[in-house]
């Protein structure tokens, strides 16, 4: 009895740790996954995993898998069903389409420069592209929830895939882990750095050749409109420059409808961290090709960039008169004039890059419809 | 070197107490278990240092858990010691005469081994990752510094262990119990801090500040070390001369870390070329002066806020902020995480930006509202404490001219971000921040203004305008904006207007030119390559 009593403090401390970590299972899981991914990647920058050459066989395999509905339970949906090249690698819908043709809770984000991110999904619950791919594949409402073994069996039954996997990953049958590696390798090539704004910043084109409105818009972006407080330059993501080791999530008070009658109920980052300060916080997406990936926000509430800029100009959710307790202090009435709002939109349009368009393959090894049926 | 000494010092003290206690009990098996745990943890730490570069978000969770497990072990050990002390009083002679204790509890042995393991790996992992990253003001000397630091810390622990046979066991045990209890508190607070960093719980501000000032800086450990001899004497009793000896030992223990720190800095300086040595001393003195000026300004800021003097508080804030941006790149090299905390975020209580938002937004209602003023003064007290800790870190750092080039060029992102200007309510301070930054760059890099000339050329009109008087624009919190007022620009006043007139694109290009000049400066590059 005395011996047990002597070790009591240790038991109490262990119980405290278990209670504390148990109260934040999402955060602990996220931290573990991030540590494992960092150990694999070796570095901390967003491009920690060096992008494979666009013409490499791994990227080619990833491209086929990205457009092949073989990964969905009903063989009618592919990654490209929600990430359509012609629509800025988004789908043009406010809410992504579920496998049963109903609406999913959130908007499908554009994938341009997706490897500039450190956290994936609107709430950042995935910590690598490979980790993210698990989400839609295993979600019953997205691609039908196939298990890794089922996917391996399907791919193993197709001779062309067997050959491709052997060529890329050596003498073995297709593995689910390699499916994720291949798709991620392809997604890392979805890069845009040739927009008008990029070429201007790099000195590849004369300043005078950039429309005056777009130049003024850039000044507003970095200055009065405070956009770059969350969409950090030059990535335009919320990955904090310098060390590029952290990604920020911000509460801006996105409404449930364009009229701003109520706050969108989606808890956002809170679902991952269970931290009250993260309630309604979302990741600031990359703004590359943003003009092509309408509608906007996690719930697709705004159809145009003009609406988005006006929302910020009014002061976010608070500016609409909504009760947003944690709204970021920098999201407040900006007092942009109509001309300034327009200039800002012109600058965002100048972030569009035609060279980043992805060409779908003519056919996929499964023989199914490229990009899925719907 | 000083950092690794601190990490190793805490571990060595804990282990010295553990081994000393085990020696009293003459449990060979227990000592073997402790050494096994120690060796395992040391090996794992070294492996972690080689393979891990950063634990990322897992680090604080891991560190916090280990700190609390360590606290649990130490608390259990203290209880066991206390229980055994009753036996000591009755069976002291028998215990001394016995060659070995008959019964060995393997669960206890496992516990002791685990305790040694946790104690070492907790600090060992942190030190190994720190060394592997090569961060700090002089990373090239950190491995050697680590070796010397750890050896000295280990020597301290061994001397306590070896001197054990001459000690009054009962008094030593009682002293040990108290010291272990204090260590439990220290580890508990460290764990709280780590869990707070991980975002799994929020720590009350006084506790966090206590951790920052006493625990994190190693002051708590030093006080413990110095108090040890007096506690021992108080329990052992004896003539007054013994207390004089105890005081001597306490002073010696207090002097050891101080002299080691000074020695480490002297050693770092001795490795520099004579011309660089003078420059290094000059730069260090300048950084220390700026840090002290920041603390003075923060003291004024808190005082003015207590008085409800809005204008005076804002002027003091601008002065403090200007001093902070001057030491920011150097401080970031010593402790990046702490520097970010001190810089703060708008809307958060601690840090410059947190205080800034409250001081400048909402037409400063704290000037007339005592409740809001009390909250603000509490925040500013927090900021002042952090400022003092920053000054302490600057005092302890060693610099040479070569690393300054890196410090300023690696600070490029922060400088470019500063062009954004209107970060929060006190955007008008941007002009004074720029002036302070440029002055510091010129002072640190010894360029006689040739590096910063492009930026100064762009900002000259704004500097002249802003110098005409400390005028601060007013902002106020607005919620719903009436549609007819949406596009109505509120009138800008004073430096707000000045900053709004700055050509940001020209400023960006000028800053790039300044950083390029620093990068390609032949003398700085040659000196840097010569290291």
Calculate the dihedral angle through the C-alpha atoms of B297, B303, B309, B313, rounding to the nearest 10 degrees: 20
Which tokens belong to B46? 């070294």
Token pair, residue A360, equals 């779908």
Nearest CA in chain B to A14: B69
> Which tokens in the block code for residue B444?
């640190």
* One domain, residues B341 and B417: yes
Q: For residue B247, is it within any domain?
A: no
What's the number of domains chain B is made of?
A: 2
> What pLDDT, on a 0 to 100 scale, did the predictor assign at position B245?
81
The residue ranking higher by pLDDT, B78 or B455, is: B455
Instruction: Yes or no: say if B235 and B222 are a contact pair by the CB < 8 Å rule.
Output: no
Q: How far apart are CA B400 and CA B403, in angstroms?
A: 6
Burial of A175 (0-12, 13-18, 19+ CB in 10 A): middle
Choice among B392-406, B454-468, B495-509, B516-530 with the minimum mean pLDDT? B516-530
**Facing residue for A228 by CB, picked from B420, B424, B500:** B420
Tell whether B235 is covered by a domain.
no
Strands A281-283 and A249-251: antiparallel
Phi, psi for A84 (deg, rounded to 5): -85, 125
B489 touching A (Cβ < 8 Å): yes
Task: List the single best residue of A4, A8, A9 to mutate versus B (max B Cβ within 10 A).
Answer: A9
Do B313 and B204 belong together in one domain?
A: no
Angstroms from B282 CA to nearest CA on chain A: 28
Closest chain A residue to B70, measured at CA: A10
Tracing tokens 């996690």 back to the chain, one arrives at A298
Distance of alpha carbon B320 from alpha carbon B326, whole angstroms: 10
- In the predicted structure, residue B258 carries a pLDDT above the cut 80: no
Final residue before a domain boundary, out of B224, B256, B288: B224
Quote the Cα angle for B503-B507-B510, to 5°.
145
Question: Are B399 and B462 part of one and the same domain?
Answer: yes
Chain A interface test: which of B479, B488, B497 (most A C-beta within 10 Å): B479
Average pLDDT over residues B336-354: 81
Least confident range from B128-137, B183-192, B518-527: namely B128-137
3 state DSSP class of B279: helix
Check residue B301 and give its pLDDT.
94
Rg (CA), chain B: 27
Residues B342 and B204 grouped into a single domain: no
Q: Is residue B121 part of a domain?
A: yes
Are the C-beta atoms of A299 and A254 separated by less than 8 Å?
Answer: yes
Tell which B residues from 135 to 194 touch A, by Cβ distance under 8 Å: 184
**What's the confidence (pLDDT) of residue B92?**
44
What is the distance in angstroms between the Cα of B424 and the nearest Cα belonging to chain A? 6
- Phi–psi pair at A111, nearest 5 degrees: -105, 5
Cβ-proximal residues to A206 (8 Å cutoff; 6+ apart), any chain: none
Residue B439 has pLDDT above 80, yes or no: yes
Question: Which pLDDT belongs to residue B91?
Answer: 46
From the list B83, B361, B487, the residue facing A6 with the nearest CB is: B83
Chain A residues with CB-CB distance to B54 below 8 A: 38, 44, 245
Consecutive 10-residue runs of chain A (374 residues): their mean pLDDT? Answer: 74 89 80 73 48 80 96 95 91 94 94 90 90 92 94 94 92 87 92 90 89 91 85 88 83 93 94 86 94 94 96 92 87 89 96 84 94 91
| Res B164: pLDDT | 59
DSSP H or E segment with residue B401: helix B401-409
- Contacting B residues, span 49-88, partner chain A, CB-CB under 8 Å: 51-58, 61, 64-65, 68-69, 71-73, 75-76, 79-80, 83
Closest CA of chain A from B246, distance in Å: 32
Tokens found for residue A126 = 């995935």
CB count in 10 Å sphere of residue B400: 23
Kindly state whether residues B328 and B183 are assigned to the same domain: no
Interface contact A315-B500, CB threshold 8 A: no
Q: Is the pTM of this model over 0.90?
A: no
Q: Which of A13, A222, A315 sits opposite B481 (nearest CB)?
A: A315
Q: Give the contacts of B216 (CB within 8 A, at least 6 positions apart).
A: B190, B193
B380 touches chain A (CB under 8 A): no
Structure tokens at A153: 């069996």
- pLDDT of B321 reads 92
**Which of B111, B199, B420 is closest, CB to CB, to A222?**
B420
Write down the pLDDT at residue B421: 53
Quickly state the pLDDT bin for B154 (edges 50, 70, 90): low
Mean pLDDT of B279-299: 92
With beta carbons less than 8 A apart as the criterion, state whether A319 and A310 touch: no
- The verdict on whether omega for the bond into residue B378 sits within 30 degrees of 0, i.e. cis, is no
Nearest to A335 among B416, B420, B488 (CB): B488
Q: Are B451 and B441 in contact (CB under 8 A)?
A: yes
Provide the shortest C-alpha distance from residue B54 to chain A (in Å). Answer: 8
In a domain, B482, yes or no: no
The predicted structure's pLDDT at residue B363: 59
Q: Indicate the residue of A10, A42, A229 with minimum beta-carbon distance to B423.
A: A229
* pLDDT (0 to 100) of residue B526: 47
Contacting residues of A for B505, CB less than 8 Å apart: 207, 215, 218-219
Does B97 share its domain with B209?
Answer: yes
| Contact call for B413 and A35, based on CB within 8 A | no
Does residue B161 sit within a domain?
Answer: yes
State the sign of the Cα–Cα–Cα–Cα dihedral B396, B402, B407, B408: positive
Helix locations, A68-128, DSSP H = 79-82
Omega of the bond leading into A226 within 30 degrees of 0 (cis) = no
Whether residue A268 contacts residue A122, with contact meaning beta carbons closer than 8 Å, is answered with yes
The verdict on B47 and B126 lying in the same domain is: yes
- In this complex, the residue of A17, A223, A336 whose CB is nearest that of residue B422 is A223
Note which residues in 139-198 of chain A have CB less than 8 A from chain B. Answer: none
B490 touches chain A (CB under 8 A): yes
Mean pLDDT of B18-24: 65
Instruction: Tell me what pLDDT residue B518 has.
Output: 87
User: Contact, B123 vs B44, CB < 8 A?
Assistant: no
What value does the mean pLDDT of chain B take?
76
Does the beta-carbon distance from A21 to B69 stay under 8 Å?
no
> Does residue B379 lie in a domain region?
yes
Beta carbon pairs, A and B, within 8 Å = 151
Ranges of beta strands (E only) in chain A are 249-251, 281-283
Please report residues of A whose CB lies closer than 8 A to that of B423. 226, 229, 330
Q: Which CB contacts under 8 angstroms, 24+ apart, belong to B204-207?
A: B205/B349, B205/B350, B205/B378, B205/B382
Contacts for A159 with CB less than 8 Å, ≥ 6 apart:
none
Q: Is residue B125 part of a domain?
A: yes
Query: Please, what is the Cα angle at A123 between A122 and A124, to 5 degrees?
Result: 95
Q: B420 and chain A: CB distance < 8 Å anywhere? A: yes
Min mean pLDDT across A332-336, B99-103, B114-118, B303-307 is at B99-103
Inter-chain contact A245–B54, Cβ cutoff 8 Å? yes
Between positions 196 and 255 of A, the ones with CB within 8 A of B are 207, 215, 218-219, 222-224, 226, 228-229, 232-233, 241-243, 245
Residue B155: CB partners within 8 Å, gap ≥ 6?
none
Mutate one of A1, A7, A306 to test the B interface: name it (highest B CB count within 10 A): A7
> How many C-beta atoms surround the C-beta of residue A134 within 10 A?
14
Q: Which residues of A touch B480 (CB under 8 A)?
A: 318-321
| Angle (deg, nearest 10), helices B274-307 and B401-409 | 50
Last residue of a domain, one of B209, B224, B239: B224
Same domain, residue pair B22 and B122: yes
B62 is a domain residue: yes
What SS3 state is found at B327?
Answer: helix
* Gap from B203 CA to chain A (nearest CA, Å): 13
The answer to whether the beta carbons of residues A88 and A292 sit under 8 Å apart is yes
Identify the domain boundary among B224, B240, B258. B224
pLDDT of B6 > 70? The answer is no
Range of the domain at B403: 274-469+491-529
Place of tokens 């809410």: A95
pLDDT at B364: 61
- Is B24 at the interface with chain A, CB within 8 A? no
Domains, chain A: 57-190 (1.10.760.10), 196-355 (1.10.760.10)
For residue B357, give the nearest of B390, B321, B332, B391 by alpha carbon: B321
Is A15 at the interface with chain B, CB within 8 A? no
Same domain for B196 and B309? no
- The answer on B286 and B216 residing in a single domain is no
* B330, B394 contact by CB (below 8 A): yes
CA pair distance B407, B397, nearest whole angstrom: 13
Closest in B199, B422, B477 to A226, CB measured: B422
Taking 70 as the threshold, does the pLDDT of residue B150 lie above it?
Answer: no
A270: Cα separation from own chain's centroid: 17
Tell me, what's the pLDDT at B312? Answer: 86
Contact A28, B61 (CB under 8 A): yes
Instruction: Find the CB nearest A38 among B56, B80, B477.
Output: B56
The pLDDT of residue B135: 44
Pair (B203, B282) in one structural domain: no
Query: For residue range B62-109, what is the model confidence (pLDDT) as tens digits?
Result: 888 888 988 888 888 778 767 765 554 454 444 444 434 456 667 777
Phi/psi of residue A115, nearest 5 degrees: -75, -5
Please report, for the domain that includes residue B383, its CATH number: 1.20.1420.20
CB contact burial B282-304 (16+ within 10 A = b; e otherwise): ebbebbeebbbbbbbbbbbbbeb
Out of A6, A215, A328, the one facing B347 most closely (by C-beta) is: A328
Judgement on whether residues B413 and B283 belong to the same structural domain of the protein: yes
């Amino acid at each position: 009895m005395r011996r047990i009593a002597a070790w009591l403090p240790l038991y109490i401390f262990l119980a405290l740790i278990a209670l504390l970590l148990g109260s934040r299972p999402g955060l602990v899981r996220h931290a573990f996954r991030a540590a494992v991914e960092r150990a694999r990647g070796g570095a901390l920058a967003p491009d920690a995993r060096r992008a494979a050459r666009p013409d490499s066989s791994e990227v080619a395999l990833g491209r086929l898998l990205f457009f092949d509905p073989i990964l969905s339970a009903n063989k009618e949906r592919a990654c490209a069903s929600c990430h359509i090249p012609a629509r800025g690698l988004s789908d043009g819908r406010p809410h992504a389409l579920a496998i049963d043709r109903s609406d999913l809770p959130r908007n499908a984000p554009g994938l341009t420069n997706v490897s500039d991110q450190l956290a994936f999904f609107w709430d950042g619950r995935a910590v690598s592209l490979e980790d993210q791919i698990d989400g839609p594949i295993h979600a019953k409402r997205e691609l039908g929830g196939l298990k890794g073994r089922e996917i391996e069996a399907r791919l193993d039954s197709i001779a062309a895939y067997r050959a491709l996997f052997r060529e890329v990953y050596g003498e073995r049958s297709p593995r689910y882990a390699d499916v994720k590696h291949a798709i991620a390798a392809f997604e890392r090539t979805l890069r845009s750095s040739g927009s008008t704004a990029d070429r201007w910043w790099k000195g590849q084109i004369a300043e005078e050749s950039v429309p005056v409105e777009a130049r003024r818009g850039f000044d507003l972006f970095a200055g009065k409109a405070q956009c770059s407080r969350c969409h950090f330059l030059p990535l335009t993501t919320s990955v904090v420059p310098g060390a590029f080791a952290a990604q920020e999530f911000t509460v801006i008070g996105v409404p449930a409808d364009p009229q701003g009658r109520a706050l969108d109920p989606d808890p956002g980052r809170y679902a991952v961290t269970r931290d009250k300060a993260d309630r309604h916080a979302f990741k600031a997406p990359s703004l590359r090709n943003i003009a092509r990936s309408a509608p906007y926000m996690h719930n697709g509430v705004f159809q145009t960039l003009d609406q988005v800029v006006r929302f910020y100009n009014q002061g976010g959710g608070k500016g609409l008169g909504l009760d947003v307790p944690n709204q970021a202090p920098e999201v407040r009435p900006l007092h942009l004039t109509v001309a300034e709002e327009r200039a800002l939109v012109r600058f965002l349009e100048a972030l569009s890059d035609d060279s980043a368009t992805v060409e779908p393959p003519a056919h996929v090894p499964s023989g199914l419809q490229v990009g899925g049926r719907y | 070197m000083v950092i690794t000494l601190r990490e190793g010092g805490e571990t060595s003290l804990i282990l010295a107490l553990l081994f000393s206690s085990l020696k009293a009990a003459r449990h060979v098996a227990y000592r073997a278990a402790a050494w096994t745990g120690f060796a395992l943890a040391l090996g794992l730490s070294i492996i972690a240092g080689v393979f891990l570069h950063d634990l990322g978000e897992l680090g604080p969770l891991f560190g916090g858990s280990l700190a609390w497990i360590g606290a649990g072990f130490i608390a259990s050990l203290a209880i066991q010691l206390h229980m055994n002390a009753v036996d000591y009083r009755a069976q002291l002679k028998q215990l001394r005469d016995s060659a070995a204790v008959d019964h060995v509890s393997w669960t206890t042995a496992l516990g002791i081994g685990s305790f040694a393991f946790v104690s070492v790996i907790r600090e060992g992992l942190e030190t190994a990752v720190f060394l592997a990253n090569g961060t700090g003001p002089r990373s090239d000397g950190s491995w050697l510094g680590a070796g010397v630091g750890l050896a000295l810390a280990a020597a301290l622990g061994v001397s306590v262990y070896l001197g054990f046979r001459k000690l009054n066991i009962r008094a030593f045990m009682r002293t040990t119990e108290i010291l272990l209890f204090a260590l439990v508190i220290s580890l508990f607070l460290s764990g709280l801090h780590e869990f707070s960093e991980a975002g799994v719980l929020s720590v009350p501000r006084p506790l966090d500040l206590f951790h920052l000032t006493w625990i994190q800086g190693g002051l708590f450990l030093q006080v413990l070390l110095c108090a040890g001899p007096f506690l021992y004497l108080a329990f052992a009793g004896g003539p007054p001369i013994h207390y004089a000896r105890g005081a001597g030992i306490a002073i010696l223990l207090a002097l050891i870390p101080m002299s080691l720190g000074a020695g480490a800095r002297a050693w770092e300086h001795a490795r520099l070329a004579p011309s660089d040595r003078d420059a290094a001393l000059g730069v260090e003195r300048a950084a220390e002066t700026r840090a002290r000026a920041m603390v003075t300004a923060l003291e004024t800021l808190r005082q003015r806020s207590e008085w409800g003097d809005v204008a005076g508080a804002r002027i003091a804030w601008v002065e403090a902020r200007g001093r902070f941006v001057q030491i920011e790149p150097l401080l970031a090299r010593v402790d990046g995480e702490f520097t970010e905390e001190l810089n703060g975020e708008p809307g958060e209580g601690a840090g410059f930006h947190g205080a800034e938002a409250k001081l400048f937004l909402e037409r400063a209602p704290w000037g007339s509202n005592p409740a809001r003023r009390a909250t603000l003064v509490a925040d500013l007290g927090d900021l002042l404490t952090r400022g003092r800790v920053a000054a302490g870190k600057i005092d302890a750092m060693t610099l040479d001219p070569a690393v300054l080039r890196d410090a300023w060029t690696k600070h490029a992102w922060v400088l470019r971000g500063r062009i954004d200007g209107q970060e929060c309510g006190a955007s008008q301070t941007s002009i004074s921040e720029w002036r302070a930054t440029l002055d510091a760059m010129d002072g640190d890099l010894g360029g006689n203004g040739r590096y910063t000339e492009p930026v100064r050329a762009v900002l000259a009109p704004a500097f002249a305008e802003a110098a005409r008087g400390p005028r601060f624009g007013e902002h106020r919190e607005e919620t719903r904006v009436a549609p007819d007022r949406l596009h109505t620009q509120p009138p800008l006043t004073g430096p707000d207007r000045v900053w709004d007139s700055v050509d940001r694109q020209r400023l960006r290009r000028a800053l790039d030119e300044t950083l390029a000049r620093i990068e390609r400066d032949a003398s700085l590059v040659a000196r840097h390559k010569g290291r």
